[in-house]
Amino acid sequence: MESETPQPAEPQDIHRREFMWAMAGLGAATAAAFAGWGALEALVPPGTADEWHKSVCRFCGTGCTIRVGMREGEIVDIRGHEDGHNKGVICVKGSMLRALPKIEGRLTTPMIRRNGKLEPASWDEALDLIGRRFKEIRDTHGPDALAFYGSGQLFTEETYTANKLFKGGLRTNNVDGNPRLCMSSAAAGYVRVYGKDEPPGCYADIDHAELFFIFGANPYECHPPLWERVQRRRAANRNAFVICVDPRRSETAKRSDLHLPVIPGTDLLLLNAMAQVMVEDGLCDMKFMQRHVRFDRNGETVDFEAFRAFLRDYTPEKVEQQLGIGADLIRHVAHRFATSRASTSLWTMGVNQRTQGTALNTMLNALHLITGQFGRKGATPFSITGQPNACGGVRDTGSLSHLLPAGRTVTNPDHRREVEHKWGLPEGAISQTPGHDAVSLFRAMGDGRVKGALIMCTNPGQSMPAADRYAKAMQDCFTVVSEIVPDSETAKAASVLLPAALWCEKEGVLGQGERRYQLVPKLLDPPGEARSDLWMLVEIAKRLGLGDLIKARTPQEVWDEWRHFSADSYYNFEGMTYDRLRALPGLQWPCPDEDHPGTARRFVEGEDPFVSKGAGIEFYGRKDKRAVVYLCPYVPSPEQRSEVYPLYLTTGRVLEQWHTGTMTMRIPELRGAAGPARFTVSEVDAKRRGIEAGDMIEVSSAFGAVQGRAVIDREMRPGLVFAAFYDARLLVNRVVADHVDPVSKEPEFKLTAVQMRRLGN
Ligand SMILES: Nc1nc2c(c(=O)[nH]1)N[C@H]1C(S)=C(S)[C@@H](COP(=O)(O)OP(=O)(O)OC[C@H]3O[C@@H](n4cnc5c(=O)[nH]c(N)nc54)[C@H](O)[C@@H]3O)O[C@H]1N2
Ligand SMILES: Nc1nc2c(c(=O)[nH]1)N[C@H]1C(S)=C(S)[C@@H](COP(=O)(O)OP(=O)(O)OC[C@H]3O[C@@H](n4cnc5c(=O)[nH]c(N)nc54)[C@H](O)[C@@H]3O)O[C@H]1N2
Ligand code: SF4
Ligand SMILES: [Mo]
């Protein structure tokens, strides 16, 4: 296992929200101690726990290992686990996990909508109704009138079971989920480039990198322990240098050595121009390319000269105006990237949530491949993941509408046969038609093609783009929602609402951003009638007459089934037993047997068990053992600013709030620290419209309108407006466009043309 984790040292970053924490009643001393690496845990006043349990944070994909302190059957303390990859560090959301099981207004009983109103019901009534309606729908309209919409926050055992139940049992590939809104462009990029999904590198690469290329990511707020690790690398190595590419002056951009404030939506021009400079200035690693790389133009293999010719349209001089970054600076960045001892790229939603998300992912990988910035410690193309189980739970188990488990696809007849065989199904049982991706699914729910849906552990009523349209779609359908609270925007549209156990009220495996799987132990009983999502799936399967297919019924039974399932694939994690996961702060796959320590760096000899001896680096995901560099033309977004809609709206996150806020808005310290959501606008745009700080404004697009208060930010670029999406009172997704990337089908949350006007104060 990787051991080059940083040594404790002085915290490197002082958090801007100290004072807010102080105001939130935590006291100035506590707030000041909330300062960074190794110190965050001081936020929580020392509890008087008398037992400690190893667990994992349920919030983001950083996947911090934690210690949960308990007394008299209650959680009283949360600490970062020193043995975890996070070396004891957690962020404020992790610290406040102790409050999560006790949030106000938990849903504790099943509810059925009768005469337009949700009313309490027994589990038997709810489950019988679901069984009856799902069967009726399937028998009358066919299996494709049913769907599962899941989440990168369910446990692996839950998602695996749902996928098996719907694809293998009900025989529809309509299985999708919120990772489509999040990681599908990253997955599409990795699959296109290496033939296999998931990042090749690991967090420890941060400790060795000299150049950090942070692209469309704001780790200061969204992955704080990783940002802190970058800070420590900077403190330890004078040559370390951080470049941040973000149209917005984000908290990460402010703290970087170089911020490239690209014009929103144009940054593929930057990547192509960097490649052009690398090719023309002799910065490419020709040996690496000759051994490991192939070039592709629209499915046809081409040579390096064709790549070079393609890039001539993207010289720094040709793109600088459209991109908003000068040619000299582009050259400088290309040289730095190529010549640094080790370059690590870190990217997330500024890249993925774009109509060119797949192309951007492909090109970020390409820059590493053409310069040989790959496979050495600190040299890696790293798409950081968002949710705690988008990787392990959804991508690896193939729980998206075009996939089957362990890297298989529904359109491949061999893959279908293999899965049918493993699941004990007759040949031809699995449909050959890909199901609906998220946006297409909600459209189908809206126009009657899909009539029954099970939605688990996600809140599409607030998180889908063009939200009004899709809230209506859920109402028009027989929609079953599993939730922990009764009043999410999705719960409001439910026909049947099922009370779910959360995080430490159930047991299961989470798989995070560096291919690390960790076990969450059950420490508490769920409140009232709440049950685990796995239990619900098993009970629904029984009601559908599919109990024989879903034979594994406890988390460990499901895990063992899935572990054995993986054994003949490159995802092999046969060696990750519950016993090992209980004892260790996680393991990284591939991990083929119980003596295997796990794999920090994939495709690298000596680390990855699948690489042949003497190969050094081997891209075994493809028959020719090569990674593919694509020629990716820049295509402007369909959302273009106009006279009517002269501004761009972009959306994202803040440190203290998780997604749609159903959990973190119920934790007073977090709610207090972030405050209500607001629109951040530039001084110029505010002045032009007579808007002053705190005024009510309306932001509208071709998709809808929403009202909220304005914050005027001097550092905001003119022409851009920002809002986070955690606050249902400022339901920004009403305005957000729902165009998708043609390959990954991920919506472009990051770009909507809008207008803005002052309403009053
Ligand atoms: N505190 C907190 N942390 C979280 C989460 C949370 O809800 N709260 N959610 C988790 C999840 S699921 C995810 S997916 C991650 C997301 O993590 P991030 O992707 O880091 O967060 P975002 O705020 O969505 O977007 C990142 C940046 O993309 C920029 N951006 C917008 N348009 C463009 C563009 O055209 N080009 C470029 N280069 N950048 C652009 C935005 O200005 C923004 O700063 O965070 C995870 N961590
Ligand atoms: N405008 C805009 N919209 C976005 C994005 C953006 O950047 N901008 N980002 C997108 C991305 S990357 C993501 S990942 C999505 C996230 O979007 P969602 O998944 O819709 O957001 P969450 O708030 O995480 O929803 C999880 C829900 O599950 C409930 N829950 C918690 N634990 C459990 C459990 O154990 N079981 C069950 N059944 N329920 C549980 C919570 O109360 C919550 O309502 O949002 C997407 N939407
Ligand atoms: S960084 Fe992510 S995983 Fe770590 S404590 Fe914070 S929310 Fe949890
Ligand atoms: Mo996400």
Q: What is the DSSP string of 379-390?
A: -EEEE---STTI
- The one-letter amino acid code at 37 reads W
Topology of domain 184-383 in CATH is Dimethylsulfoxide Reductase; domain 2 (3.40.228)
d(CA 79, CA 60): 16
Distance 178 CA to ligand 4 centre (A): 7
Nearest Cα to Cα of residue 517 among 553, 557, 563, 569: 563
d(CA 580, CA 544): 35
Least confident piece of the model among 24-38, 561-575, 658-672, 684-698: 24-38
Please say whether the beta carbons of 106 and 485 come within 8 A: yes
Please say whether the beta carbons of 351 and 268 come within 8 A: no
- Residues contacting residue 310 through CB under 8 Å, at least 6 positions apart: 297, 631, 633
80 bridge partner residues: 66
Q: Where are the domains of the chain?
A: 33-102, 126-179+389-551, 184-383, 647-758
53 bridge partner residues: 68
Tell whether the model's pLDDT for residue 17 goes beyond 80: no
For the chain, state the CA radius of gyration: 25
- The one-letter amino acid code at 748 reads E
Establish whether 93 is a catalytic residue: yes
Establish whether 182 is a catalytic residue: yes
**HSE value, Cβ hemisphere, 13 Å, CA-based, for 215:** 30
Backbone CA torsion sign across 431, 437, 440, 444: positive
Q: What is the mean pLDDT of residues 18-32?
A: 38
Tell whether the model's pLDDT for residue 41 goes beyond 80: no
Burial class of residue 315 in the structure, from the number of CB atoms within 10 Å of its CB (0-12 exposed, 13-18 middle, 19+ buried): middle
- Residues contacting residue 270 through CB under 8 Å, at least 6 positions apart: 245, 260, 262, 319, 323, 325, 330, 333
Tell whether the model's pLDDT for residue 40 goes beyond 60: no
Distance 58 CA to ligand 4 centre (A): 13
Ligand 1 site residues (CB inside 6 A) read 60, 182, 215-218, 221-223, 245-248, 250, 262, 264-265, 267, 348-350, 386-387, 650, 652-653, 655, 657-659, 750
Establish whether 321 is a catalytic residue: no
Please say whether the beta carbons of 499 and 481 come within 8 A: no
Nearest Cα to Cα of residue 649 among 729, 745, 741, 717: 717
Q: What is the mean pLDDT of residues 554-568?
A: 98
d(CA 179, CA 152): 6
d(CA 217, CA 718): 20
pLDDT at 401: 98
Task: Transcribe 218-283 into DSSP letters.
Answer: -HHHHSHHHHHHHHHHHHH-TT-EEEEE-SS--HHHHTSSEEE-PPTT-THHHHHHHHHHHHHTT-
Distance 165 CA to ligand 3 centre (A): 31
| Residue 219 Cα: closest atom of ligand 1 | 20
Architecture of the domain made up of 647-758: Beta Barrel (2.40)
pLDDT digits (tens, 9 = 90+) for 406-457: 999 999 999 999 999 999 999 999 999 999 999 999 999 999 999 999 999 9
Distance 747 CA to ligand 4 centre (A): 12
Distance 178 CA to ligand 2 centre (A): 7
Establish whether 289 is a catalytic residue: no
Annotated catalytic residue: which of 386, 407, 446, 708? 386
In the chain, the percentage of residues whose pLDDT exceeds 90 is 93
In this prediction the pTM is: 0.95
pLDDT at 541: 98
Tell whether the model's pLDDT for residue 606 goes beyond 80: yes
Tell whether the model's pLDDT for residue 7 goes beyond 90: no
Mean pLDDT, the chain, integer: 94
Establish whether 183 is a catalytic residue: yes
Examine residue 590 and say whether the peptide bond preceding it is cis (omega within 30 degrees of 0): yes
Q: What is the mean pLDDT of residues 552-572?
A: 97
Please say whether the beta carbons of 510 and 517 come within 8 A: yes
Region of 515 (left: φ > 0; alpha: ψ -120 to 50; beta: rest) is: left
pLDDT digits (tens, 9 = 90+) for 186-224: 999 999 999 999 999 999 999 999 999 999 999 999 999
pLDDT digits (tens, 9 = 90+) for 124-166: 999 999 999 999 999 999 999 999 999 999 999 999 999 999 9
In the chain, the percentage of residues whose pLDDT exceeds 70 is 94
- Look up tokens 């009856």; give the residue: 132
Least confident piece of the model among 2-6, 301-305, 411-415: 2-6
d(CA 327, CA 624): 37
- Residues contacting residue 9 through CB under 8 Å, at least 6 positions apart: 37, 38, 232, 235
How far, in Å, are 13, 203, 409 from residue 217 at the CA level? 18, 15, 29
pLDDT at 46: 59
How far, in Å, are 74, 224, 225, 662, 737 from residue 25 at the CA level? 22, 22, 24, 22, 39
pLDDT digits (tens, 9 = 90+) for 616-671: 999 999 999 999 999 999 999 999 999 999 999 999 999 999 999 999 999 999 99
CATH number of 33-102: 2.20.25.90
d(CA 256, CA 243): 6
CATH number 3.30.420.40 given to 126-179+389-551? no
pLDDT at 48: 81
Annotated catalytic residue: which of 54, 87, 93, 745? 93
- Split at pLDDT 50, 70, 90, the class of 45 is low
Ligand 2 site residues (CB inside 6 A) read 151, 153, 178, 181-182, 349, 353, 386-387, 456-460, 463, 482-485, 488, 500, 502, 533, 651-652, 659-660, 662-663, 725, 732-733, 736, 749
Tell whether the model's pLDDT for residue 234 goes beyond 80: yes
Q: Where are the alpha helices (DSSP H) in 514-642?
A: 533-543, 555-566, 578-583
* Residue to substitute in 37, 40, 41, 57 for testing ligand 3 pocket (most ligand atoms within 8 angstroms of CB): 57
Q: What is the mean pLDDT of residues 2-6?
A: 35
pLDDT at 47: 65
Q: 758 — phi, psi (to 5°)? A: -80, 135
Q: Do domains 33-102 and 126-179+389-551 have the same CATH topology?
A: no
Nearest residue by C-alpha to atom 19 in ligand 1: 349
Nearest residue by C-alpha to atom 30 in ligand 1: 350
Tell whether the model's pLDDT for residue 592 goes beyond 90: yes
3-state secondary structure of 158: helix
Burial class of residue 569 in the structure, from the number of CB atoms within 10 Å of its CB (0-12 exposed, 13-18 middle, 19+ buried): middle
700 bridge partner residues: 705, 755
pLDDT digits (tens, 9 = 90+) for 321-336: 999 999 999 999 999 9
Please say whether the beta carbons of 531 and 516 come within 8 A: no
